[in-house]
Amino acid sequence: LEMSQRVSMYPNPATDVVKLEMPKRYQHIKATIFDAQGMAYSTAQFQNRKEFELSIAALPTGIYTLQILADDEWATKRIVKH
């Protein structure tokens, strides 16, 4: 399975926070949220984690792309902000 299919994200749609659960523990995780035009809104970094949360409270309502780089693996998820 592609890593994107093995990462669970909830709730989605969301208003304040999205929680992500990775398929395993990663040493370095970088999560970047992009808008529909491809502009990066925020980037968060985590060390030695399997789960993490991202605040989306400051984002305008819309659809965003979350790009995750976990060690040497990539995943992409779609976030719907209400």
Dump pLDDT digits (tens) for 54-64.
999 999 999 99
DSSP SS3 for 8: strand
* pTM attached to this predicted model: 0.94
Span 8-36, average pLDDT: 97
Q: How far is the CA of 19 from the CAs of 37, 50, 58, 75, in angstroms?
A: 24, 11, 16, 15
Per-residue confidence band for 13, with pLDDT thresholds at 50, 70 and 90:
very high
Residue 60 is given by DSSP the state P
What per-residue confidence (pLDDT) applies to 1?
A: 74
- Per-residue pLDDT at 17: 97
Query: What pLDDT was estimated at residue 36?
Result: 93
Measured CA angle at 8 (ends 56, 46), to 5 deg:
60
